[in-house]
Amino acid sequence: MTLSGIGVSPGVVVGQIHRIKHAVIDTPVPASPREVFAALDAVATDLEHASQTVSLDVAREVLGAQAMIARDPALVEAIGARLLDDITYPDVRDAITEAFSGFRDALLSIGGYFAERVADLDEIKDRSIAKLSGADSHIASLKTPSIVIASDLTPADTAALDLNFALALVVEKGGPTSHTAIVARGLGIPAIVGCSNILTVDDSAQLLVDGREGTVIVNPSDDDFASRHTRESALRARAAAVSGPGRLSDGTPIPLMANAGNEQDAIAGVAAGAEGIGLFRTELLFLDRQTEPSVDDQVALYLRVFEAMAGRKVILRTLDAGSDKPVPFLNAVTEENPALGVRGWRLTRIANEVLERQLEAVGIAAQQTQADVWVMAPMIDTAQEAAEFANRARAHGIKHVGVMIETPAAALLADKVIAEVDFASLGTNDLTQYVMAADRLDSRLSDLTSTWHPAVLRAIHTAATSATNLSAPIGVCGESASNPQLAAILVGLGVTSLSMAPSAISEVRGYLAGLDRATCVHAASLVLNASSAQEAKDIASKILGD
């Protein structure tokens, strides 16, 4: 049996299961208000203790934040108010759940990163109720190397388990920015999130986890393991053998760049050998800002990233606020359908001055740095939008202006859109979501949100061909660039540079160094005629090899 989810950290392992079960309290809990407050206090103390003892930085921060929430007077007051009303809430579980739900809804309505933090809040509630009912919320620590499976891995689990024994993490819920994904990448172990049926697997089963493909094979054969293990070892060996700028075996340069959201990412990019930053996501600097930063503040923030990249290219993206990346000072209005709403460059319709001030700040910062600053706008749909952006950016002295191609409209009409600018960058995360009409954050649709789908590959091909005809560079800065085989297909489709998480650069460099352009073009021409993502992958494996 093969299960699938979203691979969020690569690697292949086989091992026994270590299941994390969170206590489910399904009978009423008799407790006085005093006992409820004592339970909440005890949960906060447990979390504080865990935050002091856990070794992973990311878990320590989340546990500390959770302890603060558990002691938040607003939460305690909300619970207290409901406990007084024992007619509406005869069962204290309902009083507690209802009190948490106000805070929960607030996070969900912000969406994106904040919505994924709902799991942290739910955990405090569940632990409080478990504490009151006397249920054992103790997590058995890992004593032998095992594959950890759970509905979701909470920060408290991370503290209780000894994750040094974790071979891999597979969870039913979660998304690419969930706690499980962050912890796994930090530990360098394979991980899969959104694996819907993982909890149906018997405890006695052996699992093979392929964190690159996002697949779990239950009771695998030796061959299943051997073929995947060979692929991973070959990728690592090739990565170790090649250094320097990205190029194909025939010498064709394919610059390999890093995606960055702040100065630390830029530094990590340089350390990983990135030739520049192919996507500087400026909105990530402002996710927690209630008010717009001044032009001077913005200049200082951008300069920090530029300085880390002195002498190299930086492609800065103007604010892509909205949908999965809401920024409080820009996205105050709740939208029916935020992915299709006023996000990215479309914000000029409601907050034109904010985008104008950003361009002003970028123009000033670009003059003050040794970095080679290029600027692009996200969510461009039409040639008119591209022209408007280009005029406005050039008016601020920005020399290289470009657009992201991440909507089907922009890809289909790329000859007109790219003609207005100097370069383009394919945002394959959104392009895949929009071509397939499948939410990129919904793990139940992970089979649809694959850039390997030939429909998406054809959209990429259309855009890349237009760019080639216009002699305009066209990169890819979506997640797809970090998959070595897919990276080779993208090059075969006409893409001229790739930008990815710094951790992926060396494997992509090593893989591309073993292929010439003719092979990439041949493989690309064949995958365009596949009828499914799986068929496209199989063709790529056959032509390009593992």
| Residues within the interface to Mg ion (CB under 5 A) | 406, 427, 430
4: its two tokens: 């699938």
Q: Which is nearer to ligand PEP, 155 or 473 (CB)?
A: 473
* Least Cβ distance, residue 384 to ligand PEP (angstroms): 21
User: For residues 84 and 145, is the Cβ–Cβ distance under 8 A?
Assistant: no
446: its two tokens: 């992970």
State the binding partner of 494 from ligand PEP, Mg ion, none, CB within 5 to 8 A by kind: none
- Straight-line distance from the first to the last Cα atom of the chain, in angstroms, rounded to the nearest whole number: 23
Q: Which is nearer to Mg ion, 177 or 206 (CB)?
A: 177
* Least Cβ distance, residue 440 to ligand PEP (angstroms): 8
Closest CA to 358 of 370, 347, 342, 371: 347
Q: Which residues lie across from 257 on neighbouring strands?
A: 499
Q: Which is nearer to ligand PEP, 341 or 514 (CB)?
A: 341
Q: Which is nearer to ligand PEP, 79 or 498 (CB)?
A: 498
533-544 and 517-527 helices cross at what angle (nearest 10)? 160
Q: Which is nearer to ligand PEP, 97 or 480 (CB)?
A: 480
Classify each residue of 498-511 as buried b or exposed e, where b means 16 or more C-beta atoms within 10 Å of its C-beta.
bbbbbebbbbbbbb
- The one-letter amino acid code at 22 reads H
Instruction: Indicate the SS3 state at residue 209.
Output: strand
State the binding partner of 519 from ligand PEP, Mg ion, none, CB within 5 to 8 A by kind: none
What's the length of the chain? 546
* Least Cβ distance, residue 432 to ligand PEP (angstroms): 8
State the binding partner of 478 from ligand PEP, Mg ion, none, CB within 5 to 8 A by kind: ligand PEP
Rounded (to 5) percent helix, strand, coil in the chain: 50, 15, 35
* Least Cβ distance, residue 414 to Mg ion (angstroms): 16
Q: Which is nearer to Mg ion, 116 or 406 (CB)?
A: 406
Q: Which residues contact 150 (CB under 8 A, 6 or more apart)?
A: 19, 20, 22, 157, 169, 171, 172
* Least Cβ distance, residue 344 to Mg ion (angstroms): 7
* Phi and psi angles of residue 77, each rounded to the nearest 5 degrees, phi first: -65, -40
State the binding partner of 381 from ligand PEP, Mg ion, none, CB within 5 to 8 A by kind: none
* Least Cβ distance, residue 281 to ligand PEP (angstroms): 5
* Least Cβ distance, residue 375 to Mg ion (angstroms): 16
Residue that has been written with the tokens 């001077």 in this structure: 296
Q: Which is nearer to ligand PEP, 104 or 185 (CB)?
A: 185
State the binding partner of 265 from ligand PEP, Mg ion, none, CB within 5 to 8 A by kind: none
CA 380/CA 409 separation, integer angstroms? 9
Type and span of the H or E element at 124 = helix 118-133
Q: Which is nearer to ligand PEP, 154 or 428 (CB)?
A: 428
Examine the residue annotation and report whether 477 is marked as an active-site residue of this protein: yes
State the binding partner of 281 from Mg ion, ligand PEP, none, CB within 5 to 8 A by kind: ligand PEP
CA 86/CA 115 separation, integer angstroms? 31
Instruction: Indicate the SS3 state at residue 114.
Output: helix
CA 375/CA 314 separation, integer angstroms? 8
* Least Cβ distance, residue 477 to ligand PEP (angstroms): 5
Query: Which one from 18, 400, 477, 520 is the annotated catalytic residue?
Result: 477
State the binding partner of 537 from Mg ion, ligand PEP, none, CB within 5 to 8 A by kind: none
Contact residues: ligand PEP, CB under 6 A:
279, 281, 320, 406, 427-430, 477-478
Instruction: Indicate the SS3 state at residue 456.
Output: helix
CA 402/CA 472 separation, integer angstroms? 10
Query: Which one from 179, 400, 453, 461 is the annotated catalytic residue?
Result: 179
3-state DSSP of 263-324 = HHHHHHHHHCCCCEEEEEEHHHHCCCCCCCCCHHHHHHHHHHHHHHCCCCEEEEECCCCECC
* Least Cβ distance, residue 425 to ligand PEP (angstroms): 8
Q: Which is nearer to ligand PEP, 252 or 262 (CB)?
A: 262
CA 96/CA 89 separation, integer angstroms? 9
Q: Which residues contact 13 (CB under 8 A, 6 or more apart)?
A: 147, 167, 168, 189, 190, 208, 209
Active site residues: 179, 477
